[in-house]
Structure 1
Amino acid sequence: FVREQLENLGARFYLTSEPVWISDSIVTAGEIPMTTSYEEVDPDLYVKENGAMRPDTVPDDLALAIKTDLGLVIILGCAHRGMINTIRHFQKITGGELVYCVIGGTHLISASPERMAQTVADLRETGIQKLGVSHCTGFSASSWLAGEFPGEFFLNNAGSRFSLP
């Protein structure tokens, strides 16, 4: 779709690099800072700008957090800026909340064993109780996470349902 087509149909756009509180308990990420030493944006991603291709740092990577009584439920789009970077960003926005659940794409499909080990260690620190991975996690990373979080892990494929606490 072209933006103008959607606007003609009634869509309204609110473009910002800052987090946006949709309600008292739901917030968008805004631009996610790159804070970990081991997460990086995929160097094979490019964007066309002014007729030329350039590396895409995906500053508009979208994620959403929902505050629940059991902790944050974080919904990732594709986590191009890093799953842990995204989690920590939401913890900062919400005042250090524990993480109950992370659902979505983790973009770990090409992650090295070292990155996977660090990701697992950092996930454990969040207090995570549910981890539902999607499309761009990849089979190897999904298997690794399933082995590390056997009671918490689930595949979040199209058609999956999850009830919020």
Structure 2
Amino acid sequence: MKTVIKYARKAMDEPENYEARSNLMWSSTVALNHLLTVGKGGAWSVHPIEHVISAYYDITHGVGLAVLTPAWMSYVLSDTTAPRLARFAREVFGVEEADNRKAAELGIQKVRAFNQSLGMPATLSEAGVPEDLFDEMASEAVRTSVIASRAYVKLDISDVKQILLSCR
């Protein structure tokens, strides 16, 4: 994620910049090949939720992830998840807040700000996704994945719908 933050804007401003583009491609490869999750198990819930959205609507996976990720982070933030989300905020964005809950919240704000700096939509409606199929999409996200049984924070259909609603 640090590499993405470092090179995303540069790649957008300088499309021919080989270093920026190759580092983004390498980051994508590492993120998608499951190397980082070997032996850890569980699923990252945002990914299958977004797959359903882009199956129904013509948005890119990255746009959907940009909208969903901070909403998911906010939804799952609890006393149990705060330390891990705070670690992400500290390691990736340099958040210095000592309190885990506050650090996690600052990290979520930083994710949103980073996405905005790239011109990403902040809501599903900005991305052209209305809420009329949220029930169906929530059901499909749970049916076609393991987010209800093996996710970092297990999500059922009502949880996914609440996340989608928070992205309106």
Q: Same fold (TM over 0.5)?
A: no
Indicate the TM-score class for this superposition, using the shorter chain for normalisation: under 0.3
TM-score normalised by structure 2 residue count? 0.26
Specify which structure has the higher proportion of helix: 2
Specify which structure has the higher proportion of strand: 1
Larger RCO: Structure 1 or Structure 2 (Cα < 8 Å, ≥ 6 residues apart)?
2
TM-score normalised by structure 1 residue count? 0.26
